[in-house]
Structure 1
Amino acid sequence: MKLTPRSTSTRLALAVMASLLLAFVLLGAGVYYAVSTLLLQDARELVRTDSAGLVDLYRENGRAELVEELRRRVDAPEDPDAVYMLAKPDGAVIVGTYPALPSHRPGARWIEFTEDARAGPRRNGNDPRVVAHLQPLADGSTLLTGLRLRSQERFLALMQRTALVALVVAATLGALIGWLTSRWVSHRLSSLDATAERVGGGELALRVPLDGSDDAFDRLARRFNGMLDRIEDLLGGVRHATDHIAHDLRTPLTRLRNRLEELRRRPDAAGRDVELDAAVAETDQLLQSFGALLRLARIEAQAPAQGEPALDLASLVGDAVDLYLPSAADRMIDLRAQLQPCQVHGDGDQLFQLLVNLLDNAIKYAPAGSEVDVTLQAVAGEAVLHIDDRGPGIPEADRERVFDRFQRLEAHRGSAGVGLGLSLVRAIVHRHGGHVLLLDRAPGLRVRVVLPLA
C-alpha cells in the first residue's frame, strides 16, 4: 500500500510544511546550542575568577587561612550554588561541600558532574549539573572551585518547553501556509485547466486570461495561448487549403473527366493522342499540387531549424543562380549575383527549394531582355537576401494574400503553377526563424528574406 499522496497539491502542502518545520528545528537547535555554550562559558568565567581569588589567598596567607575561608563559605555560603573543596594529595577531603572529590582524569583542570546533596557526587541526570575547576597547590593539595548550573538549566528547560510550544505553532502555521499555497496553485492552474477543457470541446478561439505578473504561471499561460494560436493557425490553414482544393482543383478534375469521357465516346483514333497528352498534363498538374501540399504540411509540422547544422548560405544561393542561368539566357535576362559569405543553421534542401521558388518566379515574370539581381549580405547578425526583378510586381494590397495556399493573382491565372510556391517559401523561412517581405521596386518586385546568422 502506497502512503505517498497522489495529489500534487497535497504533496506541495506537505513539502511547504516540512520545509518550515525543518527550518524551525535547525534554527532552534542552533539557538539552543549557542545559548547553552554561552551560559557554560559564563559559568566557567565565574568559577575561574573565584578560584583565582582563593589561590591568591593561599599564596599570601598560607593553607590555614585558605581552610578557614573555605569552611566559612561552606557553612554560610553567600552563593548557594557555589561548590568548594580542598583535598590532601592522597584525596582525603580537608574541607568541602562533598565528602569526597568527584572522579576525574589525572591532570584534568575542568570537570563536569551531577550531584545528589545527600549521597555526594553521582552521575544522575535528575540532579543539578556542576562545572568545577581543579587547581593544584604548592603543598600538593588540590583546590576545587565549582558552580551548580541550576539557573542555567532552568533557563534551558524553559527554552525547551517554549521551543516545543513554538514547534506545535510552527507545524500548525506550516500546515496552514501549505494548504493556502496548494489552494493558490490550484486556483492559478484552474483557469488553464478550464480553458483546455473548453478548447477540447471545440472553442478554439478561447484563451487563458493573463494577470500581468509575469511569474511562472503567467508565462505558462502565455506559452499555452501561443500554442493555441499555432493550433488555430494550422487548423485555419487546413480549412483554407481544403476550400481552395475544392475550388481550384475542381476545374482541372472536371476538364480531365470531360477529356476522358470524350475519348471514350470517340469511335476513331483521330485526335486521341492530343487529348491523351492534355489529360496527362492535367494529371501531372494535379500530382504536382498534391506533392506541394504534402511538402508544405511536412515543413509546417517540423520543429524549428535552430538545432540544424550550420551551412554556407552563399554557396546555396550560388548553386541556385547557376541552375537558372540557362533559363535566364533563353529569355535574354541578365541574372546577376553579389554574395557575401553567411553561415546559417538550417536544412540545405529546404533552403535550396526556397531559392528555386523565388528565382523561378523572378525569371518567369521578368520582361525579356531585363535583369534579375540577387544579393546576399550579413547585416547586424542577420543574413539578408534580396531578389530583384523588373516585372509587373504585386499590388500592395495583395502582398500578404499571395503567401496563402492556392492564392494567385488574376493576371497570373493563365500561367503554369498551382499557387503554392510562396506558401512553401514562407513556411521554410518561418521554420528557420526568419521572415520574408515583398517590396515595391518601382518597377518590379523585391523579395527580401531575412534569416538569423549562425
Structure 2
Amino acid sequence: MRIGLRILLGYFLIVGLAAWFLLNVFVAEVKPGVRSTLEDTLVDTAELLAGVVAEDMKSGALRASPKLAGMHDYGRRRVSVVINGVTKRKLDYRVYIADARGIVVYDSEGAATGKDYSRWNDVYLTLQGKYGARSTRTVEGDDRSTVMHVAAPIMDGERIIGVLTVAKPLSSVQAFVDRSQRKILQRGTVLLVLSLLIGLGFAWWLARALRQLMHYVSEAEAGHKVAPPALGNNEIGTLGRALHAMRTRLEGKEYAEQLMHTLAHELKSPIAAIQGSAELLAEGVPAEEARRFLDNILSQNARQKQLIDKLLALVRVEQQQGLDGAGPVGLAALLDQVAADADSRLRQRGLRLLLNAPAQLTVRGDALLLRQAVGNLLDNAIDFAPQDGAVRIELARDAAEAVIAIVDGGPGIPDYAVERVFERFYSLPRPAGAKSTGLGLPFVREVAALHGGSVTVANAEQGGCRAELRLPLPLTL
C-alpha cells in the first residue's frame, strides 16, 4: 500500500471516528436537552397557576371560579404559529387540580374529575412537600406517547391544601427534536465530506513530494546527474536539501580531504610508537628489552593496518545507528594496551602514567575503535601535561555507565575554547609548540556515539584538563 493511501486512510479513520463520536453525543443529547427545557417551562407554569387558584381553593369556590373557566376555554383555542421551521396548530397543556386527599376536583379535559390520583407521583410527592413530576406513556411501549406531568402545591399559608398539575405530551416537541437531529446529521455529513476532501488534498500533496524525493534518491543512487526537487520550505523540503548536501559532501573533494587528515592524524600515534621503539633499539639495549621493543614495533605495524581498515569501515557506518560485530571489551585490559601504546611517548617527555583501574568492567563494542579513542584522549593529555609531570587514567563505574577519565596537569582549556574543542579542525597550541589536525576529539565523539556513550572535556578542579569517556554497561553480555 502506498504511503499516500496509508496517510489518507489513517487521517480519514481518525476524522471519521471523531465525527462519529461527536455526532452520536450531539444527537443523543438533543432529546434529553429538549425534555429538560420542557420540564423547566412546566415547573414555571404549574407554580404560576397554583398561585392563581390558591384563593379560590381556600374559599371552597373553585368550581365556580372564572379562572377555571378561562383554563377550560384555553384548551379550545386554535393557533397557527411557525416556530423555528415547525408549525404549531394547537395548544397542548392539560391542567388538573387535586385536593389534599389526592382526589381530582378539576380537569381541563374533564376525563379525570373525581378520580383518586393520590398514588401518582406528581400528586403523591407534592402533597408530601417534595418536587412532584412523572412521565407516563398513554400507549404501552411507545415512547412518543409519553406525557410529562409537573405539579405544584396549592398553599394556605404553610399548609398544602391541594395540587395543581400541568401536563404536556412529548410529541408536541418531538418535531423540534427530529429537526435538530436531522440538521446535526446533515451538517456532520457535510463536515465529514469536507474533511475527506481536505485529506485527499493533503495526501496528494505529500505523496507527490515523496515521489519527487524518491526519484531524486533513485537517480543519485544510480550515479546520474540530477538536481534536487523544489519542495518548498517545509520539513520535506528541508529533508531534500539535507540529502543533496549529504550527497555533495560525500562526493566532493572536501570529504576526501577530511578523510585523509583523519587517517594521517590517527596514524600518528602508532608511527610515533614504532619510531620511539626503533630509536631505543638503535641505542643498544639488553636482549630482553630489545625483544619487547621489537614486539611493540610489530604490534604497532599491525595496528596501523587494522586502524586503516577500521577507519575506512567507520566512514561506511558513520550514519548508522550502531556498530557491526560488536563484542565484549574488558576495559582494564584495554587501558593496559593503551598505556603500552603510549609508553615511548611518555618516556620521551619524562612523564609518569598513573593507571588506576580497580573495577573489572566490560562493555559491548569495537575494541580497536575504543582503543584508538582512549589513545587519542591520552595523546592529548601527553601533549598538554607539563614536562616530567604525570598523567592519570582512572576507570570507575557510575550507575549503569563505565567512566574512563584521563587527567593531565597542564594549563587547562581557555574560556574562549571550551565550546569549540569538539569542532573539526579546531586545535589549541601545545605547550611544546606543536599543532594537531583538530580531528582527535571529533573522532572520539563519533566513537562514543556509535557505542551509545558520550565524551566530555573540561577543566579539572585540581588543575589541568579532565576528559571523560562514558560507555553504557550492558545488563548481560
TM-score, normalising length: structure 2: 0.52
Task: Tell me, in whole angstroms, the C-alpha distance in 2 between the residues paired with 1:47 and 1:144.
Answer: 6
CA distance 1:156–1:427, shift in 2 (3 Å): same
SS of residue matched to 2:124 = coil
Q: CA deviation at 1:39?
A: 2.9
Counterpart for residue 69 of structure 2: 72
The equivalent position to 1:198 in structure 2, one of 212, 216, 219, is 216
Where relative contact order (Cα < 8 A, 6+ residues apart) is larger, the structure is 1
Say if 1:321 and 1:335, in contact at 8 Å, map to a contact too: no
> What are the within-5 Å matches in structure 2 for residues 126-145 of structure 1?
129-133=147-151, 135=153, 143-145=163-165
Aligned length: 348
What do the CA deviations read for 1:23-65 (whole angstroms, capped 9, x no partner)? 2442454455334313311221211221233234322x12xx1
Q: Deviations over 1:57-89 (max 9, x none)?
A: 322x12xx1122275245423785443334578
Structure-1 residue corresponding to 2:283: none
2:456–2:469 contact (8 Å) kept in structure 1: no
Q: Which residue of 2 aligns with 1:294?
A: 309
Q: Note the alpha carbon deviations across 1:293-335, whole angstroms, 9 max, x for none.
A: 3322554526379xxxxxxx9x99997896467424654x233
The residue matched to 2:372 in structure 1 has which SS? helix
Deviation sequence 1:313-358 (CA, Å, 0-9, x none): 9x99997896467424654x2337899xxxxx99795454234257
- Equivalent-residue separation in structure 1 for 2:335 and 2:191 (angstroms): 71
**1:99 aligned partner:** 111
* 2:94 and 2:166 in contact (8 A); partners too: yes
Pairing 1:334-373 to 2, within 5 Å after superposition: 334-335=350-351, 350-357=369-376
1:164 aligns with 2:164: no
**How has the CA–CA distance of structure 1 residues 52 and 372 changed in structure 2, closer, same or farther, with 3 Å as cutoff?**
same
Judge conservation of contact 1:13–1:179 (CA < 8 Å) in 2. Answer: no
Instruction: Please say if residues 81 and 148 of structure 1, whose CA atoms lie closer than 8 Å, have aligned partners that are also in contact.
Output: yes
Tell me the distance in 1 between the aligned counterparts of 2:20 and 2:313: 54
Q: Any conservation in 2 of the 1:324–1:359 contact (CA below 8 Å)? A: no
- Cα deviation digits, residues 352-387 of structure 1 (max 9, x gap): 423425766998x99xx9999955869879998978
Quote how far apart the aligned CAs of 1:141 are.
8.3
Aligned counterpart, 1:418: none
> How far 1:171 moved relative to its partner?
1.1
Unaligned runs of 5+ in 2: 78-90, 127-131, 265-296, 324-330, 356-362, 392-407, 458-464, 472-477
**Which residue number corresponds to residue 277 of structure 2?**
none
* 8 Å contact from structure 2 (residues 96, 104) kept in 1: yes
Aligned residues with identical type, % of pairs:
15
Report Cα offsets for 1:230-278 as digits up to 9, x if no partner: 67766779x959x98xxx9xxxxxxxxxxxxxxxxxxxxxxxxxxxxxx
The whole-number CA distance in structure 2 between the counterparts of 1:352 and 1:434 is: 14
Task: Quote the Cα distance in structure 1 between the aligned partners of 2:5 and 2:213.
Answer: 24
Partner of 2:399: none
Q: What's the CA shift string for 1:104-147, capped at 9, x where partnerless?
A: 248233344568xxxxx666655573424275899998544314
For 2:468 and 2:245, locate their aligned partners in 1 and report how far apart those are by CA, in whole Å.
Answer: 23
Partner of 1:409: none
1:236–1:135 CA distance, 2 compared to 1 (3 A): same
Q: Distance in 2 between matches of 1:134 and 1:122?
A: 26
Q: Does the 8 Å CA contact 1:54/1:66 hold for their aligned counterparts?
A: yes
Contact 2:54 2:154 in 1 (8 A): no
3-state secondary structure, aligned to 2:149: strand
Secondary structure of residue in 2 paired with 1:303? coil
Structure 2 residue 9 is matched with structure 1 residue 10: yes
The Cα of 1:168 is off from its aligned counterpart by: 1.9
C-alpha distance in structure 1 between counterparts of 2:50 and 2:37, whole Å: 20
The question of 1:148 aligning with 2:168 is answered yes
| Counterpart code for 1:84 | V
Checking the alignment, whether the CA contact within 8 Å between 2:92 and 2:169 is kept in structure 1 is yes
Equivalent residue of 1:390, what SS? coil
Residue identity opposite 1:334 in structure 2: G
Correspondence list, 1:194-343, <5 A: 194-202=212-220, 211-213=232-234, 218=235, 222=238, 226=242, 288-300=303-315, 301=317, 303=321, 323=340, 326-328=343-345, 330-331=347-348, 333-335=349-351
Rounded Cα–Cα distance in structure 1 between residues aligned with 2:57 and 2:29: 42
Give the counterpart letter for 2:69 in structure 1: R
Structure 2 Cα separation of the partners of residues 223 and 451 of structure 1: 34
Q: Distance in 2 between matches of 1:390 and 1:145?
A: 107
Letter in 2 for 1:291: Q
Matched, 1:390 2:405: no
Q: Give the Cα separation in 1 of the matches to 2:17 and 2:237.
A: 29
C-alpha distance in structure 2 between counterparts of 1:383 and 1:319, whole Å = 27
Q: Secondary structure at the match of 2:166?
A: strand
Please give the secondary structure, in 2, of the residue aligned with 1:388.
coil
* Secondary structure in 2 matching 1:108: helix
| Cα contact 2:39–2:150 (8 A) shared by 1 | no
The correspondence of residues 398-409 of structure 1 with structure 2, limited to 5 A, is 399=437
- Which AA in structure 1 matches 2:311? L
